Amino acid sequence: MTAARLHDDGLTRCPWPGDDPLYVAYHDNEWGVPEYDDRALFEKLILDGFQAGLSWITILRKRDNFRRAFDDFDPAKIARYDAAKIQELMNDVGIVRNRAKIDGAIGSAKAWLKIQEEGPGFSKLLWDFVGGAPKVNAFKTTAGVPASTPLSVKISKELSARGFKFVGPTIVYAFMQAVGMVNDHLVSCHCHARCGAMQRPARRSAAPARQTARRQR
């Protein structure tokens, strides 16, 4: 099925979450909602990297385990992971135990810290690619939704050049969908209009990188 689907609660949704309560809640409350927080964006990008070759629901079911194992995705802590910590992660059955992806998360944390310290800030770097506001698409079926776009290729190249790992164009586009840089809810989905109408929150005064890294969602 590629068209939006009417659920028993009377709401029409994109077809991909099916009837899984966890997936439906993620679809309704997170996917496509514009995210501007630097650390939250880092977390989502890392999790999308761990998803490579797997389904998102697999990562979603393990997300709490990932947050515990990766210090709530505090980049300042992840950047300092040593061999002992890496081995601890490799022994953790609650997460995806992939050495390349774990190493990639550490490298990406270092890249994130550099962007925070030297500018322009991770959120601004990403959102400037779409002019600071979500690009609202109007797909009627999932068959029309691309796996990647020229813009995701451009962002992928930028992130790779800055030292991020597991940021290919397809991963980046999935990330853009998830954090609301693009609104790819189908037009008949009840979330399409809501996500498309969301505005950027009032800008907070800049905080030092260490403070930003410690801030939790």
Across the range 144-155, mean pLDDT stands at 98
Give the pLDDT band of residue 28 (cuts 50, 70, 90).
very high
27 is in an annotated binding site: yes
Total domain count for the chain? Answer: 1
Amino acid at position 89, single letter: L
Above 60 in pLDDT, residue 43?
yes
Q: Which position has the token pair 């397809």? A: 170
- pLDDT for 26 equals 98
190 is in an annotated binding site: no
Give the pLDDT band of residue 203 (cuts 50, 70, 90).
low
Give the pLDDT band of residue 200 (cuts 50, 70, 90).
confident
Give the pLDDT band of residue 86 (cuts 50, 70, 90).
very high
Across the range 4-30, mean pLDDT stands at 96
Angle at 69 between CA 19 and CA 113, to 5 degrees: 105
CB of 49 within 8 A of CB of 33?
Answer: no
Phi-psi region of 171 (alpha: psi -120 to 50; beta: other; left: phi over 0): alpha
Across the range 8-37, mean pLDDT stands at 97
Phi, psi (5° rounding) for residue 13?
A: -130, 160
* Three-state secondary structure call for residue 89: helix
Write out the residue range of the structural domain in which residue 85 sits: 5-214
Q: In this predicted structure, which of 75-84, 128-137, 171-180, 202-211 has the lowest mean pLDDT?
A: 202-211
- pLDDT for 202 equals 58
What b/e string do you get for 60-69 counting C-beta neighbours within 10 Å, with b at 16 or more? bebeeebbeb
- pLDDT for 140 equals 97
Above 70 in pLDDT, residue 216?
no
Above 90 in pLDDT, residue 210?
no
- Residue 139's Cβ-count burial label (10 Å; 0-12, 13-18, 19+) is buried
Above 60 in pLDDT, residue 201?
yes
14 is in an annotated binding site: yes
- Residue 93's Cβ-count burial label (10 Å; 0-12, 13-18, 19+) is exposed
d(CA 169, CA 157): 8
The CATH number that applies at residue 114 is: 1.10.340.30
Distant-in-sequence contacts of 191-194, Cβ < 8 A, 24+ apart? 191/13, 191/14, 191/27, 191/28, 191/31, 191/32
